[in-house]
Amino acid sequence: MKLPGLLLVISGPSGTGKGTVCRALVEKHPSIVYSVSATTRPPRTGEVDGVNYFFLGEEEFLQKVKEGGFVEWAKVYGNYYGTPKDALLANLAAGKDVILEIDIQGAMQVKEKFPKGVFIFIMPPSLKELQKRICTRGTDSAEVIAKRMNSAAGEMKSYSNYDYIVVNERVGEAVAAIEAIIFAEKHRASRYQCIESPDQDNEILFIAEQYQK
């Protein structure tokens, strides 16, 4: 059996540029895919079901919660969001590396269920630089910026719950750091225990077990 893909869980305070880093990584390596979330909010113009999100009714979403169908989920501003387990496992079983760009609370939910994922925390070079980046956006009031900075200071204390820290001073350097992490993880000896049992009846179930051990 081929080796499963890597589950790359990437978090960091707002303004660290984690989305920019992830997009640059995927642009450079098209074989890496994003995990597609499910949501109960209506599709926006141009959004495609199964590409941007899996659009579900609230009753269907909550039923999947009861069935354990999400790796993590939360209610945000009146709508539910979650990471579907089946789609994630299918990609991993196909050997695809999957990026799950998610907030810290969601990442910790994922870690409880998939402790063998690769957890990467994106840090700003400094709080001063982070404030500068947030201000440069020009989208937030002084009050909102102050709240974001206060939140970021607290979130940065969560770094110890992750496997790796990547400081995003320059996007290219941050991408190179994640590439090095991926290279190292693909050569980790423990990953090769997967090929010791090639006759599994349910490959996706087997992949789930490998990530959850």
Average pLDDT along the chain = 88
For residues 153-168, give the mean pLDDT.
92
DSSP string, 166-181: EE-SSHHHHHHHHHHH
Rounded to an integer, what distance in angstroms lies between the CA atom of residue 131 and that of residue 69? 38
Which whole number is the average pLDDT over 185-201? 69
125 pLDDT exceeds 80? yes
Residues annotated within the binding site are 12-19
pLDDT band at 156 (very low <50, low <70, confident <90, very high): confident
Nearest alpha-carbon partner for 174 in 123, 119, 213:
123
Give residue-wise pLDDT tens across range 68-97: 999 999 998 799 999 999 999 999 999 999
Give residue 141's pLDDT.
Answer: 76
Q: 7-35+97-212 maps to which CATH number? A: 3.40.50.300
- Determine the average pLDDT of the residues in 174-179: 98
Crossing angle of helices 142-155 and 127-137, in 10° steps, is: 140
Would you say 63 and 40 are in contact if contact means Cβ atoms under 8 Å apart?
Answer: no
SS3 content of the chain, % helix, strand, coil (to 5): 50, 20, 30
Cβ(151)–Cβ(14) below 8 Å: yes
Q: What pLDDT sits at residue 142?
A: 77
Inter-residue contact 114 to 24 (CB < 8 Å): no
CA pair distance 128, 165, nearest whole angstrom: 18
CA–CA distance, 206 with 66 (Å, rounded to integer): 22
Q: Which amino acid is at 146?
A: A
Instruction: List the structure tokens of 23.
Output: 């997009």
User: Can you say which residues are annotated as belonging to the binding site for ATP?
Assistant: 12-19
Across the strands, what pairs with 10? 101, 120
H helices present in the chain, as ranges? 18-28, 58-66, 85-93, 104-113, 127-137, 142-155, 171-186, 203-212
Domain boundaries, the chain: 7-35+97-212
pLDDT tens figures, 128-148: 888 887 777 666 677 877 777
The arithmetic mean of pLDDT across residues 170-199, rounded, is 84
pLDDT of residue 208: 63
The total of other beta-carbon atoms located within 10 Å of residue 12's CB is 29
Confidence category of residue 32, pLDDT binned at 50, 70, 90: very high
Stronger pLDDT, 150 or 207, i.e. the higher one: 150
